[in-house]
Amino acid sequence: MQKDQLFTRRRMLLAGIAALGAAGTAGAIVAGGEETTRTAAAPVAGPQARQALKPSAFRLQPLTGYGPPRTAPRRLKVRDEPVLRVSGRGRRMVLTFDDGPNPEYTPRILDTLAKYGVRAMFFVCGECVVENRELLARMADEGHVVGNHTWTHPLLTELGRGEIRSEMESTSDAIEDAYGERPQWFRAPYGAWNRAAFQLGARMGMEPMAWTVDTTDWMEPGTRTIVDRVESGAAPGVVVLSHDAGGDRSQTVRAIREWLPYLIDSGYHLTVPPRRA
């Protein structure tokens, strides 16, 4: 599927699935019972990025995987719902960005995060990773956490179990080659989860993460609206959803330059989950 067609389909699907995210929030769970979010230790720096494979190595068979993982992932408990909040003392929040990396918008977001010394989570799509591996290397160098957001951003509830596995495994392989480490977090496109996604993610050593505050920047509502949604939704444990790809993200880039210093001045500590051993 061509990227412009994919983006159009995403926009149409998102409009129909918005209610699903709200329903998921009603059943929120706090990530306080697992080792990944219970510890109050400061997150460690990102891993050393490895030499990436040649682009052709991915494009020939984008959804087949590349053999067994270099390091066997630790299997996790299968959840029934994704993590929507993070626990811990103080005014902690997590910033997340979906659908990238994008060569135009992701570097500008990374520049802003670096300016304020903030680390964030980036849930990336495999098809974007292979074209922008240097951006994952930068994320690793600057201590950001990279999560799995599937290869082509499909609606998982419309796929069979084998197709979901291929989307997830191939993306984890691409992340490991570019970032230097297999992802420990997974986010379902559109926030549309099913049992297979929870089971496969746990088998691959990935916890499922959703969000608490949706900026709805994918709708391009205006910079001021995005800023207001983040600032009004700010609270301890909140996970903020924004996008660094999937369309014109100029409003997102401008908005983060406003709401990020506001959160810091308000006493919030913008952090990432600590890496599991």
CB 61 within 8 A of CB 176: no
Instruction: Select which of 217, 243, 248, 269 is catalytic.
Output: 243
Q: Are 76 and 185 in contact (CB under 8 A)?
A: no
Cα(43)–Cα(32) distance, integer angstroms: 16
Contact 231, 261 (CB under 8 A): no
Could you say which of 98, 99, 173, 217 is catalytic?
A: 98
Amino acid at 264: I
Cα–Cα distance measured from residue 38 to residue 49, given in angstroms and rounded to the nearest whole number:
27
Residue with tokens 């160098």: 141
3-state secondary structure of 148: strand
**Residue 105, token pair as written in the block:** 């918008």
In this structure, what token pair is assigned to residue 62?
């984008």
| Active site (annotated) includes residue 243 | yes
Residues annotated as catalytic are 98, 243
